[in-house]
Amino acid sequence: MKQLLDLDTWARKEHFNFFRQFEEPFFGVTTDIDCTTAFNKAKASGDSFFLSYLHKSLAAANEITPFRYRIAGDEVWVYDQVHASPTINRPDGTFGFAYMNFYEDAAAFEASSKAEIERVRQSTGLIPAVSGENVIHYSSLPWINFTAVSHARSFSFKDSCPKITFGKVKEVGARKMMPVSVHVHHALMDGFHVAQFLDGFQQRMEE
């Protein structure tokens, strides 16, 4: 479900009208997330660390309203819930786009997502069977301890979905740290909202 945002009463109306005219309206930040607790719990229980942090990031994003905003023409729609469209690596070195529904229950999310991962790994196509505007575009680069990320963009395609990238886990003393890059549409949100997401994600990674 989605609802139309009343632009006339929105405090960011001028910001929206200003940034949506940009050829490149996305901005991005990269930071390290302490994933020690989440990593150790996943390994101890035999659960997927990837699906664990993916679920925690989705839960954090769904709590921040601007992460559920999407632009359609001159309007902004607010989705009740957003889901994940991550890249899934295949044994032959290629990847495919997946679509994973968000469930608040982590076990339900993992079970559903494992089936989707297997579907993509057994396929040869690129585009998922189901997708849409109510997704966050995810990618994982577990081989690279990056400090910044840029994304391929088609400027003729009016995309407003957030893009989140996870990197290689590294050890810093007794802690495990993982780089996370977040790119968002500046007409829909600011650095303050990205900080709220990162704080929520970090909190969940420590639970």
Query: What's the whole-model pTM score?
Result: 0.95
Q: HEC profile for 100-156?
A: ECCCCCHHHHHHHHHHHHHHHHCCCCCCCCCCCCCEEEEEECCCCCCCCCCCCCCCC
Q: Which residue has the tokens 């802690």?
A: 175
Q: What is the largest CA-CA distance in the chain?
A: 51
User: For residue 130, what pLDDT band results from cuts at 50, 70 and 90?
Assistant: low
pLDDT of residue 206: 97
Q: Which helix (H) or strand (E) holds 171?
A: strand 170-172
Average of per-residue pLDDT values in the chain: 95
pLDDT of residue 128: 64
Number of Cβ within 10 Å of residue 121's Cβ equals 15
Using the predicted structure, report yes or no on whether residue 31 has a pLDDT greater than 90. Answer: yes
Using the predicted structure, report yes or no on whether residue 131 has a pLDDT greater than 80. Answer: no
Using the predicted structure, report yes or no on whether residue 156 has a pLDDT greater than 90. Answer: no
CATH of domain 2-82+130-205: 3.30.559.10
Q: State the average pLDDT over residues 44-62.
A: 97
Would you list the DSSP string of 52-111?
Answer: HHHHHHHHHHHHSGGGGEEEETTEEEEES--EEEEEEE-TTS-EEE--B---SSHHHHHH
Pairing of strands 75-79, 163-166: unpaired
Secondary structure (3-state) at 42? helix
Q: Which helix (H) or strand (E) holds 172?
A: strand 170-172
Tens of pLDDT, residues 70-120: 999 999 999 999 999 999 999 999 999 999 999 999 999 999 999 999 999
Name the least confident of 3-7, 124-128, 190-194. 124-128
For residue 166 the two structure tokens come to 């996870």
Using the predicted structure, report yes or no on whether residue 129 has a pLDDT greater than 70. Answer: no
Is 186 one of the catalytic residues?
A: yes
Active-site residue, from 15, 137, 186, 193: 186
Tens of pLDDT, residues 16-30: 999 999 999 999 999
Name the least confident of 132-141, 175-184, 189-198. 132-141
